[in-house]
Chains A and B, each alone.
Chain A
Amino acid sequence: MRHPNTNVTGSVLIWTVLVITILSLVAAGLLQVVSGKYHSTLHTATWQEALVAGESGVDLAVLELRKSLYPVNDAWNTTRGWTNDGGFGHHGLSTIPNAGMAGTEMKIKVNVDGPPELLDLTNNWQYYRIRAIGTMPITGPGRAADNKQDTRLRKVSLRTERFAGTDLAPDAFTGAQVSRRIEAIVRPVSAFDQAIMSVGSLDLSNEDIIIDSYDSRDPLKSTNGLYDPAKQQRRGNIATDGAVLQAGHASVFGDVATNSGVASNIENITGIERTDFYQDPIPVGVPNSQWFPAPAPITINNTQSLAASPVEGSSASRYVVNSIHFAGNEILTFTGNADGSPSYIEIYITGDVSVQGNGQVIVAPGVKAKVYFAGDFDISGNGVLNVNNQPGDLLFYGINPPDPSTVKTFNLGGNSLLSAAVYAPAFDMQINNGGTQGSVFGSFVGKTVRMVGVSDLHYDEALGSYGVINNYKLVSWFEDTR
């Protein structure tokens, strides 16, 4: 029997197969392109996440370094995964779940050390080296990129971890992964890093104040270590961690910064104006907890001298004072060596300070004084005479009250030329006119800061290397791209 339609049916089948084949080839080609792009994007995204992980490791280390500055030192706590490698070497491993794509883990490994070649011998400040590895798993199949330069750039570890065998190898995942190794170096930042810094409002009144800088260490930026208008510098930076900065027509030879706020009535700025400032000042703790033997407390109501010692930190240089109260002609003198050579004194005032009338505090030549105070502080009268006119010779530290809601005040002024640096982040601070010239030399950090009757403020850049360390700042960053 014949089947006359067989040929026709067959041709349709061939056409169908042909069409399906062509469509399949097109689909396969498209899939190849999409797949390649998917892998390229996946590698890129994972590579970027690994950098975030590595830099997070640096941030974690800086956070621990900052914790080491607090009065209650909770740095490098083992509960947060830190171990001590001996000396100042700390090692930590953090695993952050669900940080990557498809809910993968982010692994961060950090080493922190302070090698002797990173010790600044001018002030014994230790710079720290932070090395961190961030590792992210690749969620797709382990496959090399289709471009040689992509492979060379991203160095994806498909089978073997590329940093394996080194002293800072990552904790590897079982499959393909990306690791990026960062080495950063941080330096200490002084509490007196700026001319003025306030946690809250900063009010310069309506005094047309001029704020500039000099460097008492550099003869090109000062004369005999003193401010010289002809050598005026432009690092008189002012900043507030708050939103209100009332400049009162100030001319700032430096930068002005607020925390998402507005600097009002600025007459002139030579630097830049920023609104992204943030700094959480380190609290000041009670100093005498480490003073042995503990000095017997004294109360000062009459003219008196306290002798500085040639040896910094010696028990002979330390005093505990209950309070200071002058209402007449009393004078408190910090005496030093007769020849004006360096001598040191530390005073912890547990109560209030009130100097009125013709009362005065004198810092003799060569004396380098640190004054810690816990109570309200008010000096007017004849003020504070810092004979050598070096702000770094007279540092005031306001101790944070146990109850943060307690309001403390710090008022400093008087007839003497004011030359000092004050760090009191829990105190409402008011700096009054600086003697007959209205000039003030130094650096001021307070909860709020207000300047009254001050015509010009000159910041000594040398203060940036003095005093307590308030923070750590990144000064070097590099990624090990080998």
Chain B
Amino acid sequence: MVASRTSRRRLQRSTGGYTLMELMMSTAIFSTVCAALLMAFVSLKRSYAATADFAINHADQMRISDYMASDFRRAIAVKAAQNDTTIYIPTYYTPRLTDQQETSRDVRDAVLDGNGGIFYGPAIAGTWAKTTTALPACTFSDYTSSGPATLTASAGGGLTLNGHAAAVGDTVLVKNESDRARNGLYVVTTGNPWRLTAHAVKIRYYLSGSAIYRDQEDEPNQPVALATDVQDFIFDVIDPPLGKVIKTTITFKPTFRSAGATAQVRAATAFYNTTMLRNNRGVY
């Protein structure tokens, strides 16, 4: 009898509603838990986004640094400036033909110029001439950020070397100038009055908008963006008096999409690179 009454009470409770207090309490607890979960998710999302941004930026920095170090090592001249730096490297390879694969190009042979200087000679015979005597009067301009070194005739007229009338496109080895800085491998770029332009490949790094570009003049599909979505990219190259070591500082201010980067976080993204110029400006 007692058991039957108890069961009836339970049945009555289970079909009865919650009290207002119970509902309010449960709603409050549920809301608190949901809010906590939401905050945790938002925080996780921000953390994820920040981590992803940092990883991407770090990879961009490493890429740029490695590209530049690779070019600095083989450079014969570097014109350093913030956000716009030009590097000249010797013409190691034979020219790329149309649609030719990069690996199908040949490495030119290194030869001496007679003064202990080295150059990588053209592989195509008949299109170049060696000088055996000093050039006629000419003016010399050193490498600049806009172009390689040039030798330009002081007076009009063509250039004849060893009985060969040099034509535009010919390659000329200048090796008997009293100023040895002038000696090197040149290409005839203007026939009358003649002008010789140093035989070198120009590579330029520069910032444009929010991207840093690398532009190599003998490569197809140039320039290429090495890093994009970069905000306030600072690129500094220091060329100490030795002229043999290049120090590069690459500072990113990553685009943190969630809450913006603090100064401390930005400072942590500075990337330093010190590269020795292996060619030591002794090769052309």
Contacts and interface: CB of A to CB of B under 8 A. Distances in A.
Interface of A: 4, 19, 22, 26, 29-30, 33-34, 36-37, 40-41, 44, 47-48, 115, 117-122, 127, 129, 147, 149-150, 152-154, 162, 183-185, 187, 218, 220, 272, 465, 474-482
Q: How large is the interface on B (under 10, 10 to 19, 20 to 34, 35 or more residues)?
A: 35 or more
Interface stretch (B153-161, B252-260, B262-270, B275-283): B275-283
A477 B278 contact: yes
A40 to B, nearest CB: 5
A293 to B, nearest CB: 36
Contact of B51 (A33, A129, A187, A476): A33
Contacts of A149: 63, 67, 224-226
Interface of B: 14, 37, 41, 44-45, 48, 51-52, 55, 58-59, 62-63, 66-67, 70, 73-74, 89-90, 92-93, 102-103, 105, 107, 109-112, 114, 116, 118, 178, 224-226, 241-242, 278-280, 282-283
Contacts of B116: 120, 122, 187, 465, 475
Contact of B109 (A26, A30, A117): A117
Contacts of B112: 117-120, 127
Nearest to A184: B278
B107 A183 contact: yes
Contacts of A115: 109
Contacts, number: 105
Contact of B102 (A120, A465, A482): A482
B63 A272 contact: no
B118 A475 contact: yes
A190 B70 CA distance: 31
Contacts of B44: 26
14 contacts: A30-B51, A34-B51, A117-B111, A121-B114, A122-B114, A127-B112, A153-B66, A153-B67, A183-B110, A272-B241, A475-B280, A478-B90, A478-B92, A481-B70
A26 B283 contact: no
Nearest to B45: A26
A150 B59 contact: yes
Given A4-B14, A482-B105, A476 B114 contact: no
B283 A476 contact: yes
Contact of A477 (B14, B59, B74, B93): B74
A115 B89 CA distance: 23
Contacts of A162: 103
B282 A475 contact: yes
A18 B283 CA distance: 66
Contacts of B178: 218, 220
A162 B102 CA distance: 12
Contacts of A476: 110, 118, 279, 282-283
A268 B262 CA distance: 49
Given A120-B116, A475-B118, 11 more contacts: A33-B55, A48-B66, A118-B118, A127-B112, A129-B110, A147-B63, A184-B278, A185-B110, A480-B92, A482-B102, A482-B103
A474 B226 contact: no
B87 to A, nearest CB: 13
Contact of B73 (A152, A218, A477, A482): A477
